[in-house]
Structures are given as C-alpha cells and as structure tokens.
C-alpha cells in the first residue's frame, strides 16, 4: 500500500479532494485532508497498488497542478491495526464496540460487540459506523427488527449489532478479504447461527425484502444503488444510509425521496452523516 501526500493552500487541497471524491470508482482506498499549519493544508490518499497511485497523481494534477505529490510505502497488512491499537471502547446507544483489550472493561446492560482492529472497515470509531449504530438504536426503540441486510458490510459490525438484538442478518461485502474478516467477527461474537456473510457485489444481487437495510458505503454508490436498496426494503421498513459527508446529504436525499422514501432522522458526527429513511406501506386497495 502507498500513502500519497500533498501540501498547499485550502483552495488547492479542496479542489484535489473534491475531484477524487467525484471519481467512481475512486482509485484511492481512503482520502482525507486537514489543516497542517497557518494557511497550510495537507491531503492524504491511500493507494492499494502503484497503478492506483498513478491514477491519483493524475487526478490531483488535473485539479490542482500546483500541488507536488509525494508517495511512500506503508505496511498494508498492519497499518489499520497499528493506528487503532489501544483505542477505547465506542458506545453508541445500547451498543459497545471494542477489541478484547477494552471490551472486558465494559459493564452494565450494554450489547457488547467484539471487533478487533483489522483491514476491514468498521470498528465503531468512525463517524459513519457510530451513526449507523445510533440509527439502529433509534429503530429498536420503536419496533423489533426481524430481518436485516448490510450492504458493504466491512467488519460486519452492523449485521452483528442487528443480530445481537434479535434479527437474522445477511452481510454482503464486495472485498473477499473483508468478508473473511467479517466471518471471523461473526464467529467470535457467537452469533454464526443468525448472521450469514457472503462475498459479492450487493448492488448486483437481488435480495429478499427485509425490514431493515444498512448501506454504509460512499455517496456515488448510494445514489447509483437507490433502486436496488429501496427494493430490498420492506414496505414500512427502514433503510439506513451512511458513508456520506454532511454536504453530500442533499444529493443522496434527492435520489431516495424522489422514489418515495421518507427521511425520519439523521445522525451526524464530525463531518459525517447517517440518514434514517422509511419506506411507506402500500396503500390499502378499495373494493
């Protein structure tokens, strides 16, 4: 894995980051930017292979030719675990998500979810995962969830949370390695009988409608998959969307509300947002 960095003005860094965000699929596994000093900002992008790094350089060069891009190799097997090692447990409503090092200190009536830091996204520390768990808490305070679908499951944390509160869940993850990790997480949380993990493209497969659907992915896939995700949600059911920045909410909402979905709640943390949408029940037929 390669870490690509560039430093410059706010306008240059934002132009480069926005251009990367507009590409679907994006060659970067992750993109972030932050203030490095007075009037100085830094862009970071992770590339899985040299050809992805070349594509990132080209995109940045087109958007902000003044930026100089540096690249350095990092250990693609351990960098996430190293970054998250020792982080405290994350609480979201009734849920506590942590590795074994922190979960043992969680007490009370919390629903404990054991997720170790790994290559798969979803430890609860990111604002999108936290938002989805809070959205699930919001739903559970109003009704029971019987069947859940998690598209873009990552570590499987959302499917596991749904299963630990009574649902049967299907976790779909396009990355085979992440799906393998999700399977391990399901087993170590002792709910293998309630969660099925499959490696595949959740947008290309028809799924039986469920009363709860998660999609914690990215803005463009969320918009593209709107018909599929709505079809996978039962009438009266809930669709929880995340992986989007707060400024991206209007476009995502338009894609779903124009198809009849109703926004019931949203949860925000840092720059991220999670939307809770409801699919209306079919109107009763008059005789």
In a domain, 21, yes or no: yes
The rounded distance, in Å, linking the Cα atoms of 144 and 158 is 15
Please indicate, yes or no, whether residues 127 and 230 belong to a single structural domain of this protein: yes
The SS3 assignment for 231 reads helix
Residues 69 and 128 in one domain: no
pLDDT in tens, 164-174: 999 999 999 98
**Mean pLDDT, the chain, as a whole number?**
84
Residue 256 to residue 83: CA distance in whole angstroms:
35
- 69 lies in the same domain as 125: no
In a domain, 183, yes or no: yes
Q: How far apart are CA 243 and CA 252, in angstroms?
A: 11
For residues 68 and 131, state if they share a domain: no
Is residue 259, in this structure, part of any structural domain at all? Answer: yes
Q: Are residues 175 and 253 in the same domain?
A: yes
Distance (Å) of CA 239 to CA 4, 61, 90, 252:
35, 38, 23, 13
Q: Which domain holds residue 45?
A: 2-73
- Say whether both 170 and 49 belong to one domain: no
Establish if 227 belongs to a structural domain: yes
More confident residue, 69 or 100: 69
By 3-state DSSP, what share of the chain in percent is helix, strand and coil, each rounded to 5?
35, 30, 35
Residue 146 belongs to a domain: yes
Q: Please, which residues bridge with residue 169 across strands? A: 148, 195
- Predicted local distance difference test score (pLDDT) of residue 283: 62
Measured distance between the N- and C-terminal CA atoms of the chain, rounded to whole angstroms: 63
252 closest CA partner among 236, 269, 230, 235: 230
Domain assignment present for residue 85? The answer is no
In this structure, of 46-50, 88-92, 223-227, 250-254, the range with the lowest mean pLDDT score is: 88-92
**Residue 269's CATH number:** 3.40.50.150
Where does the pLDDT of residue 2 fall: very low under 50, low under 70, confident under 90, or very high at 90 and above? Answer: confident
Q: Are residues 35 and 154 in the same domain?
A: no
CATH number of the domain residue 38 falls in: 3.30.70.100
Residue 8, in any domain of the structure:
yes
The model's confidence at residue 106, banded by pLDDT at 50, 70 and 90, is low
Say yes or no: 160 and 263 in one domain.
yes
How far apart CA 180 and CA 45 sit, in angstroms, is 25
Do 130 and 30 fall within a single domain? no
User: How many structural domains is the chain composed of?
Assistant: 2
The Cα–Cα gap between 101 and 114 comes to 10
Burial of 8 (0-12, 13-18, 19+ CB in 10 A): buried
Same domain (yes/no): 260, 130: yes
Residues in the chain: 287
Q: How buried is residue 281: exposed, middle or buried, by Cβ count under 10 Å (0-12/13-18/19+)? A: exposed
Q: How far apart are CA 140 and CA 165, in angstroms?
A: 8
Residue 243: which of 5, 8, 24 has the closest Cα?
24
Whether residues 57 and 127 share a domain: the answer is: no
Q: Above 70 in pLDDT, residue 102?
A: no
Helical axes 176-188 vs 157-164, angle rounded to 10°: 30
Task: Give pLDDT tens digits for 128-183.
Answer: 888 999 999 999 999 999 999 999 998 899 999 999 999 999 999 988 888 888 89
Q: Which of 38, 56, 73 is the last residue of a domain?
A: 73
Question: Is the pTM value of this prediction over 0.95?
Answer: no
Task: Tell me, yes or no, whether 155 and 235 share the same domain.
Answer: yes
- Does residue 25 have a cis bond before it (omega within 30 degrees)? yes
């Amino acid at each position: 894995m390669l870490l690509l960095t560039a430093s410059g003005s706010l306008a240059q860094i934002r132009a480069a980051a926005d251009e990367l965000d507009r590409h679907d699929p994006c060659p970067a596994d992750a993109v972030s930017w932050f203030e490095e000093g007075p009037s100085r900002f830094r862009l970071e992008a992770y590339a899985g292979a040299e050809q992805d790094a070349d594509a990132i350089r080209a995109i940045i060069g087109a958007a902000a030719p003044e930026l100089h891009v540096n690249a350095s190799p990092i250990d693609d097997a351990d960098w996430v675990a190293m970054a998250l090692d020792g982080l405290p447990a994350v609480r979201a409503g009734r849920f506590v998500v942590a590795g074994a090092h922190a979960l043992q200190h969680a007490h009370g009536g919390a629903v404990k979810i054991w997720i170790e830091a790994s290559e798969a996204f979803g430890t609860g520390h990111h604002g999108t995962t936290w938002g989805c768990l809070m959205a699930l808490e919001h739903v559970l305070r109003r009704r029971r969830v019987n069947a859940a679908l998690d598209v873009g499951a990552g570590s499987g944390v959302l499917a596991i949370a749904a299963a630990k509160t009574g649902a049967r869940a299907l976790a779909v993850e396009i990355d085979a390695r992440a799906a393998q990790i999700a399977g391990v997480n399901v087993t170590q949380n002792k709910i293998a009988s309630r969660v099925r993990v499959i490696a595949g493209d959740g947008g290309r497969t028809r799924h039986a409608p469920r009363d709860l659907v998660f999609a914690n992915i990215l803005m463009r896939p969320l918009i593209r998959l709107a018909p599929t995700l709505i079809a996978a949600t039962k009438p009266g059911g809930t669709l929880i969307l995340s992986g989007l920045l707060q400024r991206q909410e209007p476009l995502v909402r338009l894609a779903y509300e124009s198809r009849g979905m109703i926004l019931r709640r949203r949860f925000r943390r840092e720059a991220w947002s999670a939307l809770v949408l409801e699919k209306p029940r079919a109107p009763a037929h008059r005789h």
